[in-house]
Amino acid sequence: MENKARLIIGEKEIGLPIIEGTEGDKAIDIRALRSQTGYITYDPGLANTGVCKSSITYMDGEKGILRYRGIPIEELAENSTFVETSYLLINGRLPTQRELNAFSVMLNDHSLVHEDMRHFFENFPRRAHPMGILSSMVNALRFFYPELPDEEDEINITFARLLSKVRTMAAMSYKISRGHKVVYPRHDLSYPANFLNMMFDSPVKPYIIDQDNVKALNVFWILHADHEQNCSTAAVRLVGSARVNLYAAISAGICALWGPLHGGANQRVVEQLQEIYRQNLSPKSLVEKVKREKNFRLMGFGHRVYKTLDPRAKIMKEMAHKLVSKLPERDPLLDIAMELEDIAINDPYFRERKLYPNVDFYSGIVLRALGIPLNMFTVMFAIGRLPGWISQWKEDRDDPESRLYRPRQIYVGENLRHYVPIRERGS
């Protein structure tokens, strides 16, 4: 007998199929609801609505579990590289050594940006936000790199172009914004080492690559590579459902990530630390303010999904403490962050409400310790999330059940009324 949920509306009863995922997630399939009853569901923010079946990322907020393609995030952060994790997300399995070498070569081959694109960079207003520039430039890639005749080659090369060129464009935009000479990628450096070198190398002060910094950035990007159906991923799937090209869908994801409620969270952590420093506030007084004032939030604590410690935060914490301990000079903002962390994790109020430091708290510290400018924080997130967006776009494209996204609404406006000529409307 088919497992169904019974829905009773007035005198009518219908059966709605129940879908169960491989990890026990359950959903009620309501695709026939409107045709059978005339009703739709109302779910602002889609917090209780499954929009797809996915085999990419599994997360359990109550248990603090995050896995990519079934592999725990802890194992990937410890043993993998961002390039290998990207291959895993996009292709559904870990590569062989030969496949990984070929993928790395492809990324290297496509890492340069068309020289004509520099004119775009150089003509953006100097105060333009890097995320606005990045979303525009990703969309523009479509005009510089037309489709290839072989669909499989086109898809694979497009993936490689995005993963390699977005990293190059991010570093290039930073250099141009400072009026510095652009540094090109090197074939002998790993993906994260290449980015750091393109960001910070200069003719007058060559960048010395520190392997702890490279490891921290590698882990940062792995931890941000995918996170199920969040705002930006949903944007990529929604725009992609219209069967636009991948560049346009990724550009939409970048725009969604730009928002302070989503990708801007780690930037807000550092901005709050700056405010504490400027006003010479005591971290302990802020913790007490959280308890007193219902609407006051301590940035980087708690999570909408995780009701226990964010598994990514555990890993990022180790990176943050290692980098802070190696800094040649003390950073007052990072000192404040460490004091806030110590007070909060030992305070019963925070523990009872599960307001643990989240990944944004520690990633903000890591990015600052790496020397990444504050306005580039969200760009760093976008580079890390690229393989997840690509994987989600590809999965939606290949899903035989995929349809053009077309949400419904509950209309609460005026009832029928007729046009009144302007001369009859009074003064």
Query: Is 360 assigned a catalytic role?
Result: yes
Query: Is 119 assigned a catalytic role?
Result: no
Q: Are strands 65-68 and 57-60 parallel, antiparallel or unpaired?
A: antiparallel
- Cβ atoms of residues 217 and 195 within 8 Å: yes
Query: Which residue among 110, 224, 303, 310 is the active-site one?
Result: 303
Alpha-carbon distances of 184 from 165, 169, 181, 194, 241, rounded to whole Å: 11, 10, 10, 9, 35
User: What is the Cα–Cα distance from 43 to 41, expressed in whole angstroms?
Assistant: 6
- Cβ atoms of residues 338 and 325 within 8 Å: no
Selection from 116, 203, 127, 118 nearest residue 169 by Cα: 118
Tokens read off for 399: 């899903």
| The 3-state secondary structure of 83-131, one letter per residue | HHHHHHHHHCCCCCHHHHHHHHHHHHHCCCCCCCHHHHHHHCCCCCCHH
Query: Which residue among 360, 396, 398, 418 is the active-site one?
Result: 360
| DSSP 8-state secondary structure symbol assigned to residue 301 | B
User: What is the Cα–Cα distance from 219 to 216, expressed in whole angstroms?
Assistant: 5
By annotation, the residues acting in catalysis are: 303, 360
